[in-house]
């Protein structure tokens, strides 16, 4: 009987030799894919480089131990620890992960996660059986190998749990530009053709979205959220004898606002009336505008003394005044190109705004507490604008080469910022991106990076997030996507359908 038992233990050891050889060789032959999949793991993203190498190395070492008779018992204990670690990892994925990622090579590719959990548990029992048989054969005290097995199981569990919590902290707070992708996070619902490719999002109300047009700047178009009805009207300003360069429209229910910052004039009209009246004239030149309420605005303008971009607040009415806040936009090179970015409004919380730098990894949250603002870094490591600028003799600045674009577009809804990034992160090969753009999600109330998802391969002229989902203007098309499921802990009323 002892010989039969020892043969069983030997067969189990050879089973683990085959298992780890197959798994290790599979990972080595497709190492890039294995590393990418580890990077997309919701538990191990921050340690993708270390884990991808260490797992393969550990499997090779275990196989070596199992093939050497004097070290076989050590190899079986190591197999117990390895399979326990794999098992607790899968358990955490299935029960505590925001999503279930793709497989990580080897046997896992041939099974579902639940099936692999069962397989791993069976392997733990096999390794325990072989350990017990060999220890009995060596006449080791029962209490000794029971304690040894328990310690290995506990340490393996603790190792994975610690990696999980550390990875969560690093990814959310100290990210090293490793994205955590949400698979199939958005699903296309509707799309509709537009007359031309010059549209942009002007705003929304509770029934639909509004589009402005750069080629026909006095036309305001409203489209209901499901693209069933479209209506347009032409805005008629009370005074139009100005040399406008680029008229734009902002909508904040129940008003729309017509402006061109190169001419210091702002018009206001109600959404059911084409007549727009002047509410600000000669108060400020500006390049961007966001609406606080019917008579108060956040502007991006230039300081007349330094000629650098600055954030300002304009109050119109009987006591019109403008306040500059030069400390909000931080100069790095020239205060113009390096401070360039986009000012947008929170589509759920009125009075909250976001300024996204184009050429550095920072978002600025702005509200009524000016000049106090909240800054949040994106996961991209470029904290200083990478550009080469020359100042000409007439005082103007010229960019000598195209700069590195860090952020392309942003949408702001509730506590979440949806930022289209301009650069690939770690472990994102070209074949994975395939020309698609990544949207990184940030939670501003917690100063956290949440996760990312890919957009389909398409142009992106403008984006907006509403209660009905994500809307994108792509060339001559308007597309609507809904979110497959809400983010964990999300209290916003986004449609998930």
Task: Give residue-wise pLDDT tens across range 343-381.
Answer: 999 999 999 999 999 999 999 999 988 999 999 999 998
The full DSSP string for 107-163 is: GGGGS-HHHHHHHHHHHHHHHHHHHHHHHHHTT--HHHHHHHHHHHHHHHHHHHHHH
Long-range own/partner contacts, residues 67-73 (CB < 8 A, 24 or more apart): 67/17, 72/13, 72/134, 73/131, 73/134, 73/135, 73/138
Q: What is the pLDDT of residue 2?
A: 63
The radius of gyration of the chain from alpha carbons, rounded to an integer in Å, stands at 29
Model confidence at 1: pLDDT above 60:
no
Q: What is the pLDDT of residue 436?
A: 86
**Helix, strand, coil abundance in the chain, percent, nearest 5:** 30, 30, 35
Cα separation, 270 vs 251, in Å, equals 9
pTM: 0.77
Q: pLDDT confidence of 491, banded at 50, 70, 90?
A: very low
Model confidence at 103: pLDDT above 60:
no
Give, as one character, the DSSP assignment of residue 134: H
Model confidence at 489: pLDDT above 50:
no
In the chain, what percentage of residues exceed pLDDT 70?
Answer: 88
Q: What length is written for the chain?
A: 497
The reply to whether omega before 254 is within 30° of 0 (cis) is yes
Q: What is the pLDDT of residues 423-461, one digit of tens each?
A: 888 777 777 777 788 999 999 999 999 889 999 888 999
Domain 186-483: CATH superfamily, name plus number: TolB, C-terminal domain (2.120.10.30)
Specify the range with the lowest mean pLDDT, choosing from 47-56, 133-142, 152-161, 232-241.
47-56
Q: What is the pLDDT of residue 79?
A: 94
Q: Output the six-digit token pair for 47.
A: 């340690």
Q: What is the pLDDT of residue 58?
A: 92
Q: What is the pLDDT of residue 23?
A: 87
Domain boundaries, the chain: 2-173, 186-483
Model confidence at 253: pLDDT above 50:
yes
> Region 18-30: what's the mean pLDDT?
88
* pLDDT higher at 412 or 102: 412
């Amino acid at each position: 009987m002892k010989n039969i038992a020892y043969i069983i233990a030997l067969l189990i050891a050879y089973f683990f030799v085959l298992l780890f050889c197959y798994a290790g060789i599979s990972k080595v032959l497709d190492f890039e894919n294995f590393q990418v999949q580890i990077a997309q793991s919701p538990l191990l993203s921050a340690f993708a480089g270390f884990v991808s190498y260490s797992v393969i190395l550990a499997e090779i070492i275990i196989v070596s131990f199992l093939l050497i008779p004097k070290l076989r018992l050590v190899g079986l204990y190591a197999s117990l620890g390895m399979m326990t670690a794999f098992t607790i990892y899968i358990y955490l994925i299935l029960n505590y992960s925001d999503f279930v990622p793709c497989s990580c090579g080897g046997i896992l590719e041939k099974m579902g996660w639940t099936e692999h959990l069962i397989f791993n548990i069976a392997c733990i029992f096999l390794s325990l059986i072989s350990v017990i048989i060999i220890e009995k054969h060596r006449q080791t005290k029962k209490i000794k190998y029971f304690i040894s097995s328990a310690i290995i199981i506990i340490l393996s569990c603790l190792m994975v749990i610690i990696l999980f919590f550390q990875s969560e902290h690093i990814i959310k707070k100290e990210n090293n530009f490793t994205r955590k992708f949400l698979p199939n996070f958005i699903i296309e619902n509707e799309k509709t053709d537009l007359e031309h490719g010059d549209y942009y999002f002007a705003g929304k109300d509770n029934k639909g979205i509004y589009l402005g047009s750069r080629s026909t700047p006095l036309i305001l178009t409203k489209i209901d959220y499901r693209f069933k009805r479209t209506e347009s009207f032409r805005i008629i300003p009370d005074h139009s004898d100005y040399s406008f360069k680029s008229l734009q429209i902002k909508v904040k229910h129940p008003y729309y606002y017509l402006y061109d910052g190169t001419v210091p004039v702002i018009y206001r009209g109600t959404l059911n009336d084409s007549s727009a009246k002047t509410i600000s004239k000669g108060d400020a030149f500006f390049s961007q505008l966001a609406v606080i309420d019917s008579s108060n605005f956040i502007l991006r303008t230039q300081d007349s003394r330094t000629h650098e971009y600055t954030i300002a607040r304009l109050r119109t009415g009987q006591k019109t005044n403008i306040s500059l806040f030069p400390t909000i936009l931080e100069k790095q090179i020239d205060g113009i190109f390096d401070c360039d970015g986009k000012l947008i409004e929170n589509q759920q919380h009125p009075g909250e705004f976001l300024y996204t730098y184009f050429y550095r990894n920072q978002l600025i949250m702005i509200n009524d507490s000016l000049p106090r603002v909240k800054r949040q870094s994106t996961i991209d490591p470029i904290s200083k604008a990478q550009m080469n600028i020359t100042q000409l003799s007439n005082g103007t600045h010229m960019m000598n080469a195209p700069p590195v674009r860090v952020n392309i577009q942003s949408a702001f809804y509730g506590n979440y910022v949806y930022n289209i990034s301009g650069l690939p992160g770690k472990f994102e090969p070209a074949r994975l991106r395939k020309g698609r753009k990544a949207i990184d999600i940030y939670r501003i109330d917690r100063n956290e990076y949440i996760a990312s998802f890919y957009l389909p391969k398409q142009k992106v002229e403008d984006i907006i997030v509403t209660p009905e989902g994500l809307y994108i203007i792509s060339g001559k098309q308007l597309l609507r996507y809904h979110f497959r499921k809400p983010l964990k802990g999300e209290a916003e009323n986004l449609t998930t359908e």
